Structure 1
């Protein structure tokens, strides 16, 4: 709760219901909201002595705690009013107004003793209010002080320096004497209010003074400081009945000055409420202390400071642990929008920053955790929470990476569906697309701490696809090789066939050429033979002509014989010529 917290009016802190003390839940809740240190000023005294007026002044108001104008006590139990401390920022002034001691309507003096004991236990500054003078009767009204050692135990076992420990724990003591009419004089010399108090607390000498001195000893020994204020009557009796309505200008000037001195002293000197060991009490701790003390009293036991501190430590440390853990969760929740983190180092930095803030909350609210039991519990709880946030971070990272992989791998998936990688060279094309896919994946931000793990899982899950593509390509390559070999064999056979055909064509061409040459040769021979034939014929005709000429010259001798011989010769020549023509022989008959 901020230091500006202020209650508009007092509330009952401890109800006195027919002698049964009960903590008011509303007041306890109000205290639980105050995390600042508290300065607790409580007032006690006989009823109808103007206690509430002084407390209202400390609150800076004319009204608040009921003043009353009758002989009946207006305050029952212990009432509380929390206001910002006017001089100490970050501190809350808690004013406790107790019901009047010695109220004849209650009839149970032990109830007064418990009210007074609780007032002492809860306050850091105790104001005792009385009327008239500090005399034996007034001191006897403080017989409750003599009961403190019976009603309050500081430790589980008695110690030699018990009084000193009471001084360290119990509040300061201020005695306010109302309607004081005497002069502050002793042996003819003027004395101060404080000297008047200490004079009144001097031990009596003589016999049978033990009971008389006991409350004096207790007041001197229990409280670590003593202060006294005396007040004149504030106003007329008539105005006293409406004191809440009376303006300051209507009050006696001396009373106003005395009230201002009281206010300044209390505001300046009242200290922060502390427990044994110097533990500073916050509003929340004060509420828990109140419940512990009241529960102890109602159970019939005596409040024990050691036990109270231990119980309060358990309550406060448990609450501090829970609030620190809640702070850690709140701080981590503020950073969840940054999930998934870039890497584990970024998460660790975020975690440590939140741990520091949680530790600050724990350190501020915890106390008496010497063995660091609750701090260790906090570390263990934070460790559990850290695992939860790690899981959130990792799950978000996995989800982001899987979504990214699905988006980026769509091109490859489409390629698979369309059979893009089923063709020759498909595996190399797949590897190229895969390389582009990996480069794009690594460049994309916001993948988180599971980027590599998700990618490895994705590659492992799709490894069979790549293997199938490679195997299919190997089969296709093998089939292509076989096809190439078959084609090569076919081409080789074709080449062989073409070679044979070419050879046949060449052979045929050669044959044709030989045939042509043969024909040409035959023609040439034939022409030659014809030429020879014609030449021979010509030669034969020439010889015949020569012979005819010769014969003509010889015909005259033996004309008949020659004619016969010639006829035979002609016949022979014809026969020969016929033979040549039919057999190709040379020469011919000159007559043909």
Structure 2
């Protein structure tokens, strides 16, 4: 998704405590997010200050300075800080870095729980920068108490829903001086993490307390990665970390930092909501505001409710964006009057197709296609106005051309040049010549024959007077000329009707094509959503299957049985959704089809078309 983004010079505070000690969103930071139309990758770091987390975040931003390092942290900097930079690999993405600066005072222990909850909701990846984090972040065990997935709880285990939404998990271990070995065999840092998360056998309070945070991390966060970092430099150099270059640091630490950044750049996915919706910076800002407002009011942040509220905001925005694009594009592309209705219809078809695509790319969870139907109606109203203007401009252009081409005829009539024997023939010859010239002149538009008919109708009495005054014609010739004039008038009426029929047929074709285009793009969106949901389902299922396999290997058969029950629930839910999809899709497509018939002007077009057709047949 190409789109507008921002590149900030440094981090700004996104969430802070107000004078009452409650969380609040900093408006200026929110405005920055609102400018980002690109999809975002969000990396958040949680941990105490002076643990080196800000150093790694600066590295991710591609600089040595930015997030305040431990020695520079002041009490007023506490909060969640944000830095938005272009993603170094994904050119159509923005990398959003979130650092929990200054949190970790003994007196502010509650802040960590709120902070962890917020970044869990917001992030694509949560980075924990702490050696003994499992003991310290016990608040992870209360995540399901402080974050709800569904607004209405059911009997089925909801851990799969949390896995779908929660970010990936990175454990960064600083000052690591141990050998990566297990039972005397070399292991990777990732294996080191999984070993650290293994539960212990037993039911004592001590063991339950030991297992609980590990169970939660294994249950809710997938995938999980671990990176270990040796001490970067001696104590004296550590005080000047912002001033040091890679050459001043231990080579092993520099390589570990580079590997860490490369891994996150490549592996961390786009931030998504439940259902696979990819999040933009603007959407992230709206989510931030929603979560903080919920926490301030004492509510438990509910992801379902947040998605519904976000859908209303984003769908309204998508509707306005698509409508504005169509209006601006038509204003730029259409030169009035168009020579034919087909020319205008072709431009309309192209711009409408692109406008619908813009809406589809930005909208989600459009229940009963409410916003899509509004878009269909809005574009039709704009197009109808454009068609009216095209007719008006055609009328104006044709009138001007007639005044110019038939000006000599007007002069001769004023002089009475045709009121002589044989004058009627001269009059008819001049009228025919000028009519032919008019028809061959471009730039008349869709009302060329209608305006000509009106002009010729005005001249009927003039022609009749000239014919009556022409003494050179016999009675038989007079009657023959009268019959000829009637035939020519009838032929002109036929030309006018054919012109109107062509316009009405094109407008009716426009309506049909609008209907088909909306159905086509809706079907494509539903197919894409289906594939996204399938990928999401397979990811969660694979995580659950792996967890079950690990539990069996570790001898936790009861826990493995519980996991098997969760897997069955997950598969059952997926089967029910698959069964319901055909009827849901049919309903969605019917909604769009019925809306097309209710568009203002549809019935009018059919009525006018029938009227014109009936007149023509008569």
TM-score normalised by structure 1 residue count: 0.74
Q: For each residue in 1:229-248, what CA deviation from the matched residue of structure 2 results, as whole angstroms up to 9, or x when unmatched?
A: 22222222222222111121
User: Which of these residues, 393, 396, 399, is aligned with residue 396 of structure 1?
Assistant: 393
Q: Is the 8 A contact 2:322 2:359 kept in 1?
A: yes
What residue is the counterpart of 1:164 in the other structure? 160
Q: Is the 8 A contact 1:47 1:73 kept in 2?
A: no
What residue is the counterpart of 1:348 in the other structure? 345
Q: Is the 8 A contact 1:117 1:148 kept in 2?
A: yes
Report the Cα distance in structure 1 between the residues aligned to 2:136 and 2:275, rounded to whole angstroms: 32
What is the DSSP-based 3-state SS (H/G/I as helix, E as strand, rest coil) of the residue aligned with 2:151? coil
Report the Cα distance in structure 1 between the residues aligned to 2:95 and 2:78, rounded to whole angstroms: 21
Q: Is residue 151 of structure 1 aligned with residue 146 of structure 2?
A: yes
Q: Is the 8 A contact 1:98 1:119 kept in 2?
A: no
Q: Is residue 212 of structure 1 aligned with residue 217 of structure 2?
A: no
Change (3 A) 1:447 1:187: same
Change (3 A) 1:462 1:299: farther
1:356-505 equivalent positions in 2, closer than 5 A: 356-369=353-366, 371-471=368-468
Give the RMSD, CA atoms, in angstroms: 2.5
Q: Alpha-carbon deviation of 1:219?
A: 1.2
Q: Is residue 317 of structure 1 aligned with residue 315 of structure 2?
A: yes
Report the Cα distance in structure 1 between the residues aligned to 2:188 and 2:149, rounded to whole angstroms: 34
What residue is the counterpart of 2:480 in the other structure? none
What residue is the counterpart of 2:125 in the other structure? 125
User: Which of these residues, 333, 337, 344, is aligned with residue 335 of structure 1?
Assistant: 333
Q: Is the 8 A contact 2:150 2:302 kept in 1?
A: yes
Report the Cα distance in structure 1 between the residues aligned to 2:465 and 2:246, rounded to whole angstroms: 101
User: Which of these residues, 53, 56, 65, is aligned with residue 54 of structure 1?
Assistant: 56
Q: Is the 8 A contact 2:41 2:94 kept in 1?
A: yes
Max Rg structure: 1
Q: Is residue 260 of structure 1 aligned with residue 261 of structure 2?
A: no
Q: For each residue in 1:207-240, what CA deviation from the matched residue of structure 2 results, as whole angstroms up to 9, or x when unmatched?
A: 1133333222211111012222222222222222
Change (3 A) 1:421 1:266: same
Q: Alpha-carbon deviation of 1:190?
A: 4.2
What residue is the counterpart of 1:249 in the other structure? 247
Change (3 A) 1:75 1:263: farther
Q: For each residue in 1:256-276, what CA deviation from the matched residue of structure 2 results, as whole angstroms up to 9, or x when unmatched?
A: 222122112212211111111
Report the Cα distance in structure 2 between the residues aligned to 1:467 and 1:259, rounded to whole angstroms: 97
What is the DSSP-based 3-state SS (H/G/I as helix, E as strand, rest coil) of the residue aligned with 2:439? helix
What residue is the counterpart of 2:232 in the other structure? 234
Q: Is the 8 A contact 2:197 2:218 kept in 1?
A: yes
Change (3 A) 1:66 1:283: same
Q: Is residue 97 of structure 1 aligned with residue 84 of structure 2?
A: no
Count residues with an aligned counterpart.
Answer: 470
What is the DSSP-based 3-state SS (H/G/I as helix, E as strand, rest coil) of the residue aligned with 1:371? helix
Q: Is the 8 A contact 1:3 1:92 kept in 2?
A: no
What is the DSSP-based 3-state SS (H/G/I as helix, E as strand, rest coil) of the residue aligned with 2:285? helix
Report the Cα distance in structure 2 between the residues aligned to 1:445 and 1:333, rounded to whole angstroms: 21
Report the Cα distance in structure 2 between the residues aligned to 1:467 and 1:372, rounded to whole angstroms: 61
Pick 1 or 2: higher relative contact order, CA cutoff 8 A, min separation 6.
2
- Which sits farther off after the overlay, 158-167 or 383-392? 158-167
Q: Is the 8 A contact 2:49 2:70 kept in 1?
A: no
Report the Cα distance in structure 1 between the residues aligned to 2:226 and 2:76, rounded to whole angstroms: 25
What is the DSSP-based 3-state SS (H/G/I as helix, E as strand, rest coil) of the residue aligned with 2:443? coil
Q: Is the 8 A contact 2:84 2:95 kept in 1?
A: yes
Report the Cα distance in structure 1 between the residues aligned to 2:473 and 2:268, rounded to whole angstroms: 98
- Which sits farther off after the overlay, 326-335 or 360-369? 360-369
Change (3 A) 1:257 1:438: same
Q: Alpha-carbon deviation of 1:468?
A: 4.1
What is the DSSP-based 3-state SS (H/G/I as helix, E as strand, rest coil) of the residue aligned with 2:452? helix
Query: Which segments of 5 or more consecutive residues in structure 2 lack a partner in the other structure?
Result: 476-618
Report the Cα distance in structure 2 between the residues aligned to 1:219 and 1:12, rounded to whole angstroms: 28
